[in-house]
Amino acid sequence: MSKIESINEFVIKFANVNGSGSASANQMFAKGVFRSGIPVSPKNIFPSNIQGLPTWFEVRVSEKGYLGRKDGIDIFVAMNPQSYYQDLQELNSGGYFIYDSSWERKFDREDVNVLGIPLVKLCLEFPNLKQRLLFKNLVYVGALSFMLGIDKEIYIKLIEEQFKGKEKLIAPNIRALEIGFEYAKENLEDACDIRVKKSNKTDGLILTSGNDAAGLGSVYGGATVCAWYPITPSTSMAESFTKYCEDLRIDPETGKNNFAIIQAEDELAAVGMAIGANWNGARAFTATSGPGISLMGEFIGLAYFSEVPLVIFNIQRGGPSTGMPTRTQQSDILACAFASHGDTKHVLLFPSDPKECFDFAVEAFDLADQLQTPVFFMSDLDLGMNDWSTPEFEWDDSRIINRGKVLNYEDLENMDTEYGRYNDVDGDGIPYRTYPGTHPSKGAYFNRGTSHDAFARYTEDGKIHAEVLLRLSKKYQTASKILPGPKFNQDKNTSSMGVIYFGSTDVSMQEALDSMTEEGIAIDAMRIRSFPFNLEVWEFIEDHDLLFIVEQNRDGQMRTLIMAEGGIIPDKLVSILCFDGQPITADFISTKIISHLSGKPEAALIGGTS
């Protein structure tokens, strides 16, 4: 029988039952590979359920650094009989199917290698059932450690780190690991031809999730108020902020909090609190996902029109409606760009990896203050909840918080003209604000969502209303000049074709670009990082005759934005769309592009799965 051979390039997938304690063992497996110096991208594929339903954990191991999802599994650790059949189908020919042979089974695929390990039987030495079920997860980690050649000491160290403070648990966990290791050594010596060989490709990398990074970034960005309502996949972002605040923001002398975190009664209240706090000069944010964005609509318009800074972390999931709460998509682009009634347009940021989640979280608070408007941080479930091998965080201690145009007591005291909250003094569309309580007789104003003049006074004068709307457009132009610009794959454009993409698609895109280069297809690439689009975005579009736009939604929402904002003719922009809730793959992208270039009808480009 054929056996897949590979060193440091493979995909391993674990099938478990939700709530069986497998998650931390699987995580540990991935971290062991990472510590061996090979980049990994673990992905949790979980149901919207707490206990009992099937759940998967997929780890792509790639020394080349290709960390996007890849179809076809090389090793399956199948721990859930419920999903055996389905799991077996996903395995590549010559792949390895590891299952718990305490209950022997026959599997009807001849072209794969079935490897039984009697996990539960091996765990009989542990006193109770609960422990046996839990430790069986470590037994397979131990077996994998032997079979793939991952240094066992790495796992022992990981166990010690994980159970620091709960020392009693260290010995039995190590024991479980050893049981698996020894079993594989005796019974599965040459069973597997996939190997992990130590490398140095993780130098300068860390393993963390976008939500964790964004929570940390919010601390570094000076946020003090978080108001939120639980919703997958954004919950862990608020939790991350909470964790870092508890570590870093409790006053050592008084034991009191230099922050306020409020779990609101719903998303309306959450965003209202964030707006109230920002209006009052404390940096505040909310974290949510699609359904929350829909609820926040009215308040977002208020913040836009009355020019209150606001940061909204939107960790996108599969819509519409409740959709697929535990799957990924980039399908709120238009809903966020134009959130709320009336003429509104909002600033969007598109981070592509956890490092950028950190950087953009910090940046989002400066931008919201500088522009005095809502800023949407557009992450997604894949980027937010999964650990990524990402460049390590960096911080420049000379960086200071940029609070934008805020007048303090002295500024007001020295002012000889009348203060007007919405006076465009500098001609960039951005007026000056004051915090309540600044000066006894100057600087007060009435923040309102009703139409107002330059002095924040109520007006029904249509001319004044139109002027305010035009000024907000001007502010929007200013925004496009200070937002993070696009990233290009090339120093200079060399092709008449280009590809545009954004957010978490980046990892798969890099791989797709390499494979297309190998096939002799030259294509320039641009990653959009913000909206409103900067000049460089338009130049790139101008410079190419044909552009592919890769998105993880059905309707080509980014394409719509580009067409609407730039008056670009639709024929020039070809959509490549993945919207089945799975992270987009490199194969999907390159196959679609190549099939388009080979003259296949455009309709072929639209589809959920590859």
Say if CB 348 and CB 412 are below 8 A apart.
Answer: no
Give 356: exposed, middle or buried? Use CB within 10 Å, 0-12, 13-18, 19+: buried
Strand order in 54-62's β-sheet?
40-45, 54-62, 9-17, 73-78, 91-100, 113-117
Closer of 118 and 374 to another protein (Cβ): 374
Closer of 327 and 439 to another protein (Cβ): 439
Q: Tell me the closest approach of the beta carbon of residue 272 to another protein, in angstroms.
A: 3
Residues 6 or more apart in contact with residue 544 via CB below 8 angstroms: 493, 495, 496, 497, 498, 524, 572
Rg of the chain over all Cα atoms, to the nearest angstrom = 27
**Nearest residue to 524 (alpha-carbon basis) of 430, 605, 593:** 593
Q: Tell me the closest approach of the beta carbon of residue 134 to another protein, in angstroms.
A: 25
Beta strands in 235-381 (DSSP E): 260-263, 284-288, 310-316, 347-349, 374-380
Q: Tell me the closest approach of the beta carbon of residue 283 to another protein, in angstroms.
A: 8
Measure the CA–CA gap between 129 and 123, rounded to whole angstroms.
9
Q: Tell me the closest approach of the beta carbon of residue 61 to another protein, in angstroms.
A: 16
Q: Tell me the closest approach of the beta carbon of residue 165 to another protein, in angstroms.
A: 15
Structure tokens given for 198: 């130590």
Q: Tell me the closest approach of the beta carbon of residue 30 to another protein, in angstroms.
A: 13
Closer of 457 and 474 to another protein (Cβ): 457
Closer of 176 and 296 to another protein (Cβ): 296
Strand order in 487-488's β-sheet?
487-488, 524-528, 497-502, 546-551, 573-577
Measure the CA–CA gap between 507 and 143, rounded to whole angstroms.
30
Q: Tell me the closest approach of the beta carbon of residue 232 to another protein, in angstroms.
A: 22
Measure the CA–CA gap between 94 and 434, rounded to whole angstroms.
68
Residue 513: other Cβ atoms inside 10 A: 22
The dihedrals phi and psi of 274, each to the nearest 5 degrees, come to: -65, -40
Closer of 116 and 297 to another protein (Cβ): 297
Closer of 55 and 62 to another protein (Cβ): 62
Q: Tell me the closest approach of the beta carbon of residue 298 to another protein, in angstroms.
A: 5
Closer of 388 and 502 to another protein (Cβ): 388
Q: What is the DSSP letter of 148?
A: H
Closer of 171 and 248 to another protein (Cβ): 248
Structure tokens given for 386: 């999964």
Q: In Å, what is the CA distance from 557 to each residue of 118, 300, 342, 562, 591?
A: 50, 20, 20, 9, 21
Closer of 34 and 46 to another protein (Cβ): 34
Q: Tell me the closest approach of the beta carbon of residue 381 to another protein, in angstroms.
A: 20
Place of tokens 């062991």: 32
Closer of 445 and 488 to another protein (Cβ): 445
Measure the CA–CA gap between 311 and 365, rounded to whole angstroms.
7
Q: Tell me the closest approach of the beta carbon of residue 344 to another protein, in angstroms.
A: 14
Say if CB 483 and CB 530 are below 8 A apart.
Answer: yes
Closer of 140 and 279 to another protein (Cβ): 279
> What sign does the CA torsion over 210, 216, 218, 220 have?
negative
CA 399 to chain CA centroid, Å, is: 25
Q: Tell me the closest approach of the beta carbon of residue 610 to another protein, in angstroms.
A: 32
Give 327: exposed, middle or buried? Use CB within 10 Å, 0-12, 13-18, 19+: buried
Look at residue 379 and give its three-state secondary structure: strand
Q: Tell me the closest approach of the beta carbon of residue 220 to another protein, in angstroms.
A: 5
Closer of 3 and 403 to another protein (Cβ): 403
Closer of 323 and 449 to another protein (Cβ): 449
Measure the CA–CA gap between 10 and 32, rounded to whole angstroms.
15
The dihedrals phi and psi of 12, each to the nearest 5 degrees, come to: -120, 140
Q: Tell me the closest approach of the beta carbon of residue 280 to another protein, in angstroms.
A: 4
Q: Tell me the closest approach of the beta carbon of residue 397 to another protein, in angstroms.
A: 5
**Nearest residue to 119 (alpha-carbon basis) of 70, 81, 68:** 81
Closer of 205 and 348 to another protein (Cβ): 205
Measure the CA–CA gap between 67 and 585, rounded to whole angstroms.
10
Cis status, amide bond into 320, omega within 30 of 0: yes
